[in-house]
């Protein structure tokens, strides 16, 4: 059997690196899909009320159709990945009725370690995902209930108040 040249060894290493990256991206997509399904189950809401989006693009609302999915994950050079989620909290009107958040995650051993508020980390185990869903619900509910307080406490010199805009 002929020995591989250094050039051939580089080509094999390149192919292995591409394959490993593709496998990692597929695992990331599986993770965010599982996370979305867990949120749907935990909130007991229709699948059409949870959206995913590219963090750098933000939530794009065009003609009330959303195309976001697990392929919207963005990968950083530090090995971390991120995806945006939005929960439509109004059945009747899509405008300004979202609670949105980013999930930042990275593979740690057999699980993913993830967070959404830069304060608390979760693992992608069933217990970790359940804890995440509870934490997210509590944070979202508190955020949505405090919108008026945030609006009223906005600095007077700002053009866009924190919280929500008054209906015209």
**Average pLDDT score over the chain:** 84
* CA separation for the pair 155, 150 (Å, rounded): 10
Per-residue confidence (pLDDT) for residue 84, from 0 to 100? 92
Per-residue confidence (pLDDT) for residue 168, from 0 to 100? 44
pLDDT value at 8 more than 70: yes
pLDDT > 90 in the chain, percent: 49
């Amino acid at each position: 059997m002929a020995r591989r040249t250094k050039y051939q060894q580089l080509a094999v290493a390149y192919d292995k690196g591409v394959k490993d990256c593709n496998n990692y991206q597929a695992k990331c997509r599986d993770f965010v899909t599982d996370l979305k399904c867990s949120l749907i189950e935990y909130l007991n809401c229709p699948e059409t009320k949870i959206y995913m989006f590219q963090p750098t693009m933000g939530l794009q609302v065009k003609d009330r159709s959303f195309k976001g999915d697990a392929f919207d994950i963005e990968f950083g050079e530090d090995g971390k990945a991120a995806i945006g989620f939005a929960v439509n909290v109004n059945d009747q009107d899509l405008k300004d009725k979202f609670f949105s958040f980013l999930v930042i995650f990275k593979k740690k051993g057999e699980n993913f370690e993830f967070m959404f508020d830069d304060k608390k980390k979760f693992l992608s185990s069933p217990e970790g995902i359940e804890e995440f869903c509870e934490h997210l619900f509590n944070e979202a509910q508190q955020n949505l209930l405090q919108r008026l307080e945030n609006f009223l406490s906005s600095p007077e010199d700002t053009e866009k108040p924190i919280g929500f805009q008054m209906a015209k």
